[in-house]
Amino acid sequence: MDFTSLGYRTDLMLLQLSGSVLTDEGDYVVVRTPANPSFWWGNYLLFRTPFAPGDGAVREVIFHREFPEAEHVALGIDSTDGVVGSEDELKALGLEIDRSTVMTATEVNEPARPNVTSQFRELSSDDDWEQQVALSLACATMKVDEEYRVFSRRRVEAERGLCEAGHARWFGAFDGGAGDGGAGGQAHARWPGGRLQASLGLASDGSGVARFQNVQTGPEDRNQGIASTLVHRASRYGFDELGAHTLVMVADPGYLAIRIYRSLGFSDTEVQLGMARPPASVST
């Protein structure tokens, strides 16, 4: 399958590597993630064209036909320019339109304020991955209920599976560790390998393009240069070890982290379009 959007192309690369199933229906592609059915952006329809008048209602019917048990609705457009089409109609249907910024880099700059106190390494132990679950919950922008906890754990299991299969590396910044207390940090009895402060994934299918995933920093560890240092180190790994020629990052244009990525050398390349309506039980 060919895709116009670099954002969706790399999204789908990651999903397929972790077990999701893609079915090409001509006008749209069905994306299914059987292992995590509550993952909206693992279970959605990707349409090849914007929404013409009347398409919103028609495409929602198609979604429910493909996903009869789903409580959410999630639709994407395989485009790069941010043009939705009948935007008012989608809003009337209760669909929230998300325009994400697809960023690329062929080289990276040194961080302006590098962090020199945290330890930076790959996630490896059961403790590390358990902390990844906790970090994901701490950084959640949605209501954290039992369903969301299950979703988060399944997503982390998929991330670990990508790493164990050799398709990705997950990097973390840690505060301290057993023995020496880390570089300026404090040893943590609960977490012998150090307390996880921030994490991100970098995945590739060997095509020369590597995609960042889930860059997140715990609320108490922000504004310390941790994220910029972590992204820089992972970027260098992508260029030097993976042999990637292009790094891809998808960012929220309204969130401050995008300034960090731009300062490191990532440039705005495309607009990725998604529209979703969460289950009635979910509040943001």
Residues in the chain: 284
Residue 266, in any domain of the structure? no
How do residues 41-56 score in pLDDT, each as one tens digit? 999 999 999 999 999 9
Q: How far apart are CA 103 and CA 209, in angstroms?
A: 12
User: Looking at the predicted structure, is the pLDDT value of residue 281 above 80?
Assistant: no
Spell out the residues 6+ positions from residue 18 whose beta carbon is closer than 8 angstroms to its own: 33, 158, 159, 161, 162, 167
Confidence label for 180 from pLDDT (cuts 50, 70 and 90): very low
Residue 163, in any domain of the structure? yes
Q: Both 16 and 95 in a single domain?
A: yes
pLDDT at 185: 45
Express as a percent the part of the chain with pLDDT over 90: 89
Confidence label for 239 from pLDDT (cuts 50, 70 and 90): very high
The residue ranking higher by pLDDT, 180 or 218, is 218
User: Looking at the predicted structure, is the pLDDT value of residue 280 above 90?
Assistant: no
How do residues 90-124 score in pLDDT, each as one tens digit? 999 999 999 999 999 999 999 999 999 999 999 99
Q: Both 123 and 227 in a single domain?
A: yes
pLDDT at 38: 87
User: Looking at the predicted structure, is the pLDDT value of residue 271 above 90?
Assistant: yes
pTM: predicted TM-score of the whole model, two decimal places: 0.90
Q: How far apart are CA 3 and CA 16, in angstroms?
A: 14
Q: By C-alpha distance, which of 150, 122, 125, 121 is closest to 136? A: 150
Q: What are phi and psi of 78, to 5 degrees?
A: -80, 80
User: Looking at the predicted structure, is the pLDDT value of residue 284 above 80?
Assistant: no
Q: Where are the beta strands (DSSP E) in 37-187?
A: 44-47, 73-77, 96-105, 119-122, 168-175
The amino acid present at 34, given as its one-letter code, is P
User: Looking at the predicted structure, is the pLDDT value of residue 181 above 60?
Assistant: no
Residue 280, in any domain of the structure? no
Residue 262, in any domain of the structure? no
Q: Both 127 and 88 in a single domain?
A: no
Q: By C-alpha distance, which of 114, 127, 160, 147 is closest to 263? A: 114
Range of the domain at 239: 119-244
pLDDT at 96: 96
pLDDT at 195: 95
Q: How far apart are CA 212 and CA 179, in angstroms?
A: 32
Average pLDDT over the chain, rounded to an integer: 92
Of the three residues 229, 244, 259, the one that is the final residue of a domain is 244
Residue 270, in any domain of the structure? no
Mean pLDDT confidence for 59-75: 97
Q: How far apart are CA 7 and CA 85, in angstroms?
A: 19
How do residues 157-174 score in pLDDT, each as one tens digit? 999 999 999 999 999 999
pLDDT at 215: 96
User: Looking at the predicted structure, is the pLDDT value of residue 217 above 60?
Assistant: yes
DSSP state of 68: T
Spell out the residues 6+ positions from residue 137 whose beta carbon is closer than 8 angstroms to its own: 144, 148, 149, 152
Q: Both 130 and 61 in a single domain?
A: no
pLDDT at 187: 47
Residue 18, in any domain of the structure? yes
Report the DSSP pairing between strands 209-217 and 246-251.
Answer: parallel
Return the C-alpha torsion angle 15, 17, 21, 22, nearest 10.
Answer: 70
- Residue 101 in contact with residue 273, Cβ under 8 Å? no
Q: By C-alpha distance, which of 127, 128, 129, 153 is closest to 140? A: 153
Q: By C-alpha distance, which of 61, 72, 66, 60 is closest to 23? A: 66
Residue 181, in any domain of the structure? yes
Residue 177, in any domain of the structure? yes
Confidence label for 179 from pLDDT (cuts 50, 70 and 90): very low
Q: Both 84 and 173 in a single domain?
A: no
Beta-bridged to residue 201, according to DSSP, are: 170, 213
User: Looking at the predicted structure, is the pLDDT value of residue 177 above 70?
Assistant: no
- Residue 184: CATH number of its domain: 3.40.630.30
How do residues 220-230 score in pLDDT, each as one tens digit? 999 999 999 99
The alpha carbon of 162 is separated from its chain's Cα centroid by a whole number of angstroms, namely 14
Degrees (nearest 5) of the Cα angle 183, 187, 191? 115
